[in-house]
A and B are shown apart, each in its own frame.
Chain A
């Protein structure tokens, strides 16, 4: 198999799937949200979201005009030959998807304000690498919207406050965000490690399907508690009031320095787009988040 070409083609597919069709767990959560929401304004917003995603899927059009910043998560088998070609394949796929899907050009030079026009540039798309035993490659794409990115928060909390401090930080962050991140949102929350590590884990936690509880029962309980708490804020869908502000809270952690308690909250909007595929050593591909007809 031509690894570069296979990865490029699969990644273009993943980008198209991600921006035009939500994964099943997110769709289901939005349907449930409509069902449980009691505020009229909130229900109207959720109905509009459901109509919008159905229409996007049917017409294979991006569900939101902001197709985000492209982030990749790659798990590569240690025995795969030609891993040095993966980066180029991902960049080329991003360029192609920008014209083929199309994606909105969202890569701007911070200093001269020039838009590169093709969603690529220095360090973007960003690639997170993980090496595992074996000879397959798993690719996940996370097109990350700007509105929900703008309210992500990082706090170096007091170790003495511990989990209490974390709870307060999460609640305050959601309240401060209000309608800005296009609620209902998914929250990725992580503590420990260090400032960068906590945020990385928080963002990666956004990838966990909403119907998959945390493997750690204690954290699963904390996720439920946090979800209940943030949904009592009353912000509601699109900030118009209601009981569904957040669809799910996904926690992760790293052990921490005795003197630090880094905490990070990453937001995804209702357009919680992600798509994954596994490429096997024989070149065959399985799509993990979407049904490919």
Chain B
């Protein structure tokens, strides 16, 4: 287990050095995006329109933050991760087209995303579910908000972060998926527990 402290933009080479179970802290820029933002970004790409910012080497955070405006400035109140599986249907194309190197969320992602991460060089960093205060503390400022018409939780919040983490590398760029490993082990364990308790022969 190695701890990485990286500054954005993150290169493919840097990403390829990381393995599942490693710990990552990010300084620089991360961008929140949920279903709606993923959908629109891919639509823009298809239509040849450019995104409001270049996502190459940045981290995308599955998060619908609570934000308030204080004297013309946006302030993050809480910013915990949301369940990532909802973005599974978009993420492979997203990584391919925009060269995002880090995806941050909770609960992990599936096979399609894992394959795309291996192919194009990206990782999934699991942030502790619900740990909203920890996340908010690492966010030094809201740099900008785009696509606000999607609503506060769905908009693209472009955030300046300092030592954002700890992120546990749960999918690496070598085809490993920690959540999948745990799930299959859990199923094996389930049978062992049944046996131990005499629930099956």
- Residues of chain A having any CB pair with chain B under 8 Å: 40-41, 44-45, 47-49, 51-52, 55-56, 59, 61-66, 102, 104, 145, 147, 164, 167-168, 171-172, 175, 178-180, 182, 225, 229, 232-236, 238-241, 269-271
Bound-state Cα–Cα, A118 to B181, Å? 42
Q: A40-B21, A104-B66, A235-B182 are in contact. Are A61 and B133 (CB under 8 A)?
A: yes
Interface residues of B in 156-201 (CB under 8 A from A): 166, 168, 170, 178-179, 181-183, 185-187, 189-190, 192-194, 196-199
**With A40-B1, A233-B186 in contact, do A52 and B131 touch (Cβ < 8 Å)?**
yes
A168: nearest residue on chain B (CB-CB)? B199
Q: In the complex, given contacts A49-B130, A104-B66, what are 8 additional A-B residue pairs having Cβ atoms less than 8 angstroms apart? A: A45-B126, A48-B166, A64-B130, A182-B129, A232-B192, A238-B129, A269-B129, A269-B130
B134, closest chain A residue (CB): A52
Given contacts A63-B132, A234-B182, contact A167 B137 (CB under 8 A): no
CB neighbours of B107 from chain A (8 A): 179-180, 239
Could you give 6 example pairs across A and B, Cβ below 8 Å?
Answer: A44-B166, A52-B130, A55-B137, A66-B130, A182-B129, A240-B178
Report the minimal beta-carbon distance from A40 to chain B, rounded to whole angstroms: 5
Q: Does B106 have its Cβ within 8 Å of any Cβ on chain A?
A: yes
Nearest B residue to A48, CB-CB: B128
Is B186 a contact partner of A240 (Cβ separation < 8 A)?
no
Identify the interface centre among A41, A59, A232: most chain B CB within 10 Å of its CB: A41
- Nearest residue (CB) in B for A181 is B129
Task: Report the Cα distance A145→B23, complex, angstroms.
Answer: 27
Contacts of B23 in A (CB 8 A): 44
B131 and A49 form a contact (CB under 8 A):
yes
CB distance from A238 to the nearest CB of B (A): 6
Whether the pair B179, A239 counts as a contact (CB closer than 8 A) is: yes
Name the distance in Å between B62's Cβ and chain A's nearest Cβ. 13
Q: Is residue B117 within 8 Å, beta carbon to beta carbon, of the partner chain?
A: no
The reply to whether A232 and B193 contact each other, CB–CB distance below 8 Å, is yes
Q: Does B83 contact A (CB under 8 A)?
A: yes
* Residue from B80, B136, B197 in contact with A229 in the complex, judged by beta carbons closer than 8 Å: B197
How many A-B Cβ pairs are below 8 Å?
133
Is B155 positioned at the interface, with any CB of A under 8 Å from its CB?
no
Least Cβ–Cβ distance between A151 and chain B, in angstroms: 12
Q: Determine whether the beta carbon of B199 is less than 8 Å from that of A167.
A: yes
Q: Contacts A44-B166, A52-B133, A234-B186 known; A65 to B181 CB distance under 8 Å?
A: no
Residue of B108, B186, B198 near A235 (CB, 8 A) is B186
Flag whether B78 is at the interface (Cβ < 8 A): yes
Interface check B103, CB cutoff 8 A: no
Contact present for A238 and B126 (CB under 8 Å): yes
- Closest chain B CB from A221 CB (angstroms): 13
**Which residue of B108, B129, B170, B189 has the most chain A CB atoms within 10 A of its CB atom?**
B129
CA of A55 to CA of B134 in the docked complex: distance in angstroms?
A: 7
Closest to B187 in A: A175
Say if the beta carbon of B79 comes within 8 Å of chain A.
yes
Contacts A104-B66, A233-B189 given; does A52 touch B199 at CB 8 Å: no
A241-B181 in contact (CB<8A): yes
A233 touches B133 (CB 8 A): no
B132 partner residues in chain A, CB cutoff 8 A: 52, 62-65
Point out the residues of chain A lying under 8 angstroms from B181, CB to CB.
241
Cα–Cα, bound, A104→B132 (Å): 12
Q: Which of B23, B130, B187 is packed against the most chain A CB atoms within 10 Å?
A: B130
Q: 1/0 contact trace for B119-130 toward A, CB 8 Å?
A: 000000011111
Q: In the complex the two chains form, is B199's CB within 8 Å of A241's CB?
A: no
Q: Is the CB of B190 within 8 A of A238?
A: no
A175 to B188: give the CA distance in the assembly, Å: 11
Query: B189 near A65 (CB under 8 angstroms)?
Result: no
Judge whether A51 and B130 touch: CB under 8 Å: no
Q: How far does the alpha carbon of A241 sit from the alpha carbon of B197 in the complex, in Å?
A: 22
Complex: A168 Cα to B132 Cα, angstroms: 34
Known contacts A65-B79, A232-B189; A238/B133 CB under 8 A? no
- In order of increasing CB-CB distance, the 5 nearest A-B pairs are A65-B78, A64-B130, A182-B129, A52-B131, A48-B128
Enumerate chain A residues within 8 angstroms of B127, measured Cβ to Cβ: 48
Please state if A41 and B21 are interface contacts (CB–CB under 8 Å).
Answer: yes
Which of B128, B193, B194 is close to A52, meaning CB atoms less than 8 Å apart? B128
Residue of B nearest to A183 (CB): B129
- Within 8 Å by CB of A41, from B130, B168, B194, lies B168
